[in-house]
Amino acid sequence: MSWLLLSTFCLLFYSTYCATDDTKTDNVVVDCSTLRMGQYICPDPNQNQIDSATQQYVGCTKGKDVPSEGEANVWCIAADKIICNETKNSTFYKKMPCKWTNGYSLEIALLLSVFLGMFGLDRFYLGYPGIGLAKLCTLGFMFLGQLLDIILIAAQVVGPSDGSAYVIPYYGAGVTVVRSDNETYLLPQADWHNIT
Ligand SMILES: *[C@@H]1O[C@H](CO)[C@@H](O)[C@H](O)[C@H]1NC(C)=O
Ligand SMILES: *[C@@H]1O[C@H](CO)[C@@H](O)[C@H](O)[C@H]1NC(C)=O
Ligand SMILES: *[C@@H]1O[C@H](CO)[C@@H](O)[C@H](O)[C@H]1NC(C)=O
């Protein structure tokens, strides 16, 4: 009986003094740039990092090869009990892909295309004065070209001539082009002969 009492006391003692100590020392300090997916949230939802004018991350820069595929440094937050060695707290800076925009709005382009497309105003707005002039002189290729442009702009196939992306609400209907490359394509693997 006394043994049971003693062990209960020990357990109580342990859980009140030692266990709480454990949780304090549980924090690990790591280089947060090495964290894997699921160990952090990017961007940090506690901070508003979306520029209201561009509807992209604040500081989104123009991409090198494809202008619209830019990058921005955003604050991210690591999972519980992970401390980043660069900031000494759980937040860290990370480069995230974003769309570089230059003030061209999809709504304006689409409205111009639907109502004034026969005069080529959508093309003038997006920076294609040649096609715009051709549409102006031919009444939008007898409205056929206008219809085509409405579809092309709505599908975001035709974008601003400077290669930027349309300004679309961040959580809106932006189109992301997913290209097939050597990372998405399923290549034959060496051990595939095991499966018949
Ligand atoms: C964080 O840790 C990494 C790897 O351990 C190290 O290369 C880096 O210099 C550290 N950064 C700082 C600010 O201490
Ligand atoms: C974390 O540290 C960075 C740099 O020291 C600081 O800018 C940031 O405000 C800190 N974040 C929190 C949540 O304390
Ligand atoms: C895919 O191709 C790029 C360049 O063409 C190369 O840098 C990269 O390592 C390749 N990835 C794989 C998984 O082969």
pLDDT in tens, 157-193: 999 999 999 999 998 888 887 778 877 878 788 888 7
Q: What is the pLDDT of residues 30-70, one digit of tens each?
A: 999 999 989 999 899 999 999 999 999 999 999 998 898 99
Average pLDDT over residues 113-132: 96
Distance, in Å, from the CA atom of 87 to the CA atom of 188, rounded to the nearest integer, reads 43
Ligand 3 atom closest to Cα of residue 183: 13
- What are the start-end ranges of the E strands in 34-179? 40-41, 69-78, 82-84, 91-99, 101-105, 165-167
Residues with C-beta less than 6 Å from any ligand 1 atom? 31, 85-86
Q: What is the pLDDT of residue 188?
A: 81
Ligand nearest to the CA of 30: 1
Q: Yes or no: say if 170 and 72 are a contact pair by the CB < 8 Å rule.
A: no
Whole-number Å distance, alpha carbon 37 to ligand 3 midpoint, is 21
Give me the pLDDT at residue 105, please: 95
Q: What percent of the chain has pLDDT over 70?
A: 86
Q: Which two tokens stand for residue 17?
A: 């003094």
- If we measure between CA atoms, which residue out of 180, 188, 164 comes closest to residue 69? 164
Ranges 23-27, 95-99, 147-151, 191-195: which has the least confidence: 23-27
Write down the pLDDT at residue 185. 79
Q: What percent of the chain is predicted at pLDDT more than 90?
A: 66
pLDDT at 48: 92
Does the beta carbon of 89 lie inside 6 Å of ligand 2? yes
Question: What is the model's pLDDT at position 103?
Answer: 93
Greatest Cα pair distance in the chain? 103
**Residue whose CB lies within 8 A of the most ligand 3 atoms, among 179, 183, 184, 186, for a mutation test:** 183
Cα four-point dihedral sign 102, 103, 109, 112: negative
Residue type, 81: K
- Of 2 and 178, which is predicted with more confidence? 178
Ligand located closest to 46 CA:
2
Q: What is the pTM of this model?
A: 0.70
Assign 4 a pLDDT band (cuts: 50, 70, 90).
Answer: low
Ligand nearest, relative to CA of residue 86: 1
Kindly give the distance from the C-alpha atom of residue 31 to the centroid of ligand 1, in angstroms, as a whole number: 6
Q: How far is the CA of 164 from the centre of ligand 2 (A)?
A: 33
Report d(CA 160, CA 105) in Å as an integer.
Answer: 9
For range 113-120, the mean pLDDT: 96
The confidence score (pLDDT) of residue 96 equals 92
Across all residues in the chain, what is the average pLDDT?
Answer: 87
